[in-house]
Chains A and B, each alone.
Chain A
Amino acid sequence: MNLKYYFDYNSTTPTDPRVVKEIIPYFGTKFFNPSSFYRKAGEISIDIENSRERVAKLLNAEPNEIFFTSGGTESNNLAIFGITLKLKEKGNHIITSKIEHSAVLNTCKYLSKKGFEVTYLPVDKYGLVNPDDLKKEIKDTTILVTIMHANNEIGTIQPVKELSEIAHKRGILFHTDAVQSAGKMKVDVKELDIDMLSISSHKIYGPKGMGVLFKKKRVKINPMIFGGAHEKGLRAGTENVPGIIGIGKAAELAILEMDENEKRLKPIRDKIEKGIIETIPDVIINGNTDKRLYNTLNVSIRYIEGESILAFLDNQGFALSSGSACSSKSLEPSHVLLALGLKHEEAHGSLRISLGKYNKKEDADKLLEVLPPIVEKLRSMSPFWKKK
């Protein structure tokens, strides 16, 4: 069975053919090292700067505030390590949330073993951080607040403007992981008043292994990777030129297509949500249905386990993901779903449906056709079904 229905765009996206087309010359005729002397190489640096401008435009930032990295993970690491190393004389306290991506959580966890103190803010049952909690947790030793913009599993969008304002009032820097929001919705670093922000290319129809850290000019951080003077000394290493060109083109396309994607995808997502509620009893919609990415739907189907749902769906050509313990390498259920207050068993039967620009209206109908019988079959095997 071929994979015909892809509903996992929050995991990754296919590279847009227009992006691929723009990248290809940089593997061939434009292969030069941008740091080299000859003119042909110099031209590559100009292309890199053009790409920087395109990304800056996506975020309403200045080009000199854009730093290329190897992905969302590195951007998050660079922001957090960069600040903590720089400001460790000033304080050792970091505030984040319980529902961050592992690229933030595990960085913080590591730092807490190295003498830093980390506060993980709770979220309400829809996944929102309460700004009052942030106010209460800030102390004299706090040097960084890092709270994600939109959550990858449930799509909940945090009030980052309000949160950054609270941090700034106390003179503390604010970083946000915008890997899931950038390219999908307007992310304006000036309007949101953000000091540092991470994005990833492969979530916005660009190539994998490519990311950006936005950093306000006046914010000084330490590098993590040492070597040559690339990226103004903040991130050494010969540039990943195809990647850089790719994220630039992807950013340009995102600006053009964002509104159209929202207009088209939101009704498809809503239709799937409604269809599931209507045809499958005992489901829980996870996330904040008012403040939620328009492409994301997370639902717990009670009394059955996610990996086995995914396997039946895969067999019929559908690609989705789950927050089940069984489908994770650590055998822990999703920390995001547990932070919402879901029981272990409820996280077990969770499905994430995340749409993207190549989904069609008919995809929703197909999913709604195959899912209910799969659920019914798995429930008939479950010791918990019927015996409620």
Chain B
Amino acid sequence: MLYSKKVMEYFQNTKNYGKLEDADGIGKVGNPRCGDVMWIYIKVKDNKIIDAKYETFGCVAAIATSSMAIDMIKGKNIDEALRLTNKAVAEALDGLPPEKLHCSLLAEKGIKAAIEDYKSKK
């Protein structure tokens, strides 16, 4: 299996992981196909995502897309973050092998779930 350089870079040097204490929203999603799990934490202020982290039990692609997706939503307002697609995340990583595209869906779903969680608590 060959991943792009960028995927490996994001995987190896991923930063945004770990629990986010006092998160305003948590999205817990799983991948029904391979059994992987991703948790996305967000901290929101004035409708803006001021911090975000992830915890992922999954493959290289799942970890790299978690990391990239967090980078892509940090500092954005909620509506922008909701528009993030798995395709955009995969493209930002210079693409994923076809059989790994489904992993990037996890990041998109995780972010949406975290925002929903935040909204429901508001």
**Which residue numbers of A lie inside 8 Å of B, CB to CB?**
303-305, 307-308, 311-312, 315, 324-327, 329, 331, 333, 344-345, 348, 380-384
Residues of A within 8 A of B14 (CB): 381
Given known A333-B35, A344-B35, A348-B35, contact A327–B57 (CB-CB < 8 A): no
Q: Is the CB of A305 within 8 A of B55?
A: no
A324: chain B residues at CB < 8 Å are 59
| B57 and A311 contact, CB distance less than 8 A | no
The reply to whether A383 and B8 contact each other, CB–CB distance below 8 Å, is no
Q: A311-B60, A312-B12, A315-B12 are in contact. Are A383 and B36 (CB under 8 A)?
A: no
- Measured CB to CB, the nearest residue on chain B to A386 is B19
Contact A308/B11 with A303-B57, A324-B59, A383-B57 known, Cβ cut-off 8 Å = yes
Contact with A along B34-65 (1 / 0, CB 8 A): 11111100000000000000111111111100
Q: Are A380 and B18 in contact (CB under 8 A)?
A: yes
Whose C-beta in chain B lies nearest to the C-beta of A311? B60
Q: Which of A307, A325, A331, A381 has the most CB of B within 10 A?
A: A381
- Pair A307/B59 contact, Cβ less than 8 Å: yes
Does B34 contact A325, Cβ atoms closer than 8 Å? Answer: yes
Is B33 interfacial (CB-CB < 8 Å)?
yes
Known: A383-B39, A383-B55. A311 touches B11 (CB 8 A): yes
- Considering the complex, give the chain A residue whose CB is closest to the CB of B102: A331
Q: Tell me which of B3, B12, B56, B57 has the highest count of chain A C-beta atoms within 10 A of its own C-beta.
A: B57
When the two chains form their complex, are residues A308 and B63 in contact, meaning their CB atoms are under 8 A apart? yes
Structural contact, A384 and B17, CB atoms closer than 8 A: no
* Known interface pairs A326-B34, A344-B35, A381-B18; A304-B57 also in contact (CB < 8 Å): yes
Interface residues on B, range: 20 to 34
Distance from A328 Cβ to chain B, minimum over Cβ atoms (Å): 9
Chain B residues closer than 8 Å to A345, beta-carbon distance: 35, 57
Q: Is the CB of B11 within 8 A of A331?
A: no
| B38: A residues at CB distance < 8 A | 383
Closest approach, in angstroms, between the C-beta of B72 and any C-beta of chain A? 18
Q: Report B-chain residues with C-beta under 8 Å of the C-beta of A312.
A: 12
Bound together, the chains give a CA A254 to CA B63 distance in angstroms of: 43
Residue contact B99 to A308, C-beta cutoff 8 Å: no
Supply 16 A–B pairs (Cβ within 8 Å), ascending by A. A305-B57, A308-B59, A308-B63, A311-B60, A315-B12, A325-B35, A326-B36, A327-B1, A331-B99, A331-B102, A344-B35, A381-B17, A381-B63, A383-B28, A383-B37, A383-B38
Residue of A nearest to B37 (CB): A383
Chain A residue numbers with a CB within 8 Å of B62 are 305, 326
How distant is B118 from chain A, measured CB to nearest CB, in Å?
18
* A307, A312, A348: most-surrounded residue (chain B CB, <10 A): A307
Beta-carbon contact of A327 and B37 below 8 Å:
no
Q: Indicate the member of A325, A331, A345 with the most B CB atoms within 10 Å.
A: A331
Interface of B is mostly: mixed
Which residue from chain B places its CB closest to the CB of A343 in the assembled complex?
B35
Q: How far is the CB of A13 from chain B (nearest CB, A)?
A: 21
Which chain A residue has the least Cβ–Cβ distance from B60? A311
Measured CA separation A331–B98 after assembly (Å): 13
Give the docked Cα–Cα distance between A307 and B39 (Å): 19
The answer on a CB contact under 8 Å between B8 and A311 is: yes
On whether the beta carbons of B35 and A308 are closer than 8 Å, the reply is no
Q: Say whether A308 contacts B33, CB under 8 Å.
A: no
Given contacts A333-B34, A384-B57, list 12 more A-B pairs with CB under 8 A. A303-B57, A307-B59, A311-B8, A325-B33, A325-B35, A326-B61, A326-B62, A348-B35, A381-B14, A381-B17, A383-B38, A383-B55
Note all chain B residues with C-beta closer than 8 A to A381. Answer: 14, 17-18, 54-56, 63
Select A326's contact among B8, B39, B58, beta carbons within 8 Å: B58
A72 CB to nearest chain B CB (Å):
23
Q: How far is the CA of A329 from the CA of B61 in the complex (A)?
A: 14
Q: A344-B35, A383-B37 are in contact. Are A326 and B12 (CB under 8 A)?
A: no
> Which of B18, B37, B60 meets A308, CB within 8 Å?
B60
Whether the Cβ atoms of B58 and A305 lie closer than 8 Å is yes
> Given A312-B12, A326-B34, A326-B36, A383 and B59 touching (CB < 8 A)?
no
Of chain B, the residue at the smallest CB distance from A384 is B57
Rounded to whole angstroms, the CA-CA distance of A380 and B18 in the bound complex is 7
A344 to B3, CA, bound (A): 25
Nearest chain B CB to A145 CB, angstrom units: 33
How far, in Å, is B63 (CB) from chain A's closest CB?
Answer: 6
* In the complex, chain B residues whose CB is within 8 Å of the CB of A383: 28, 37-39, 55-57
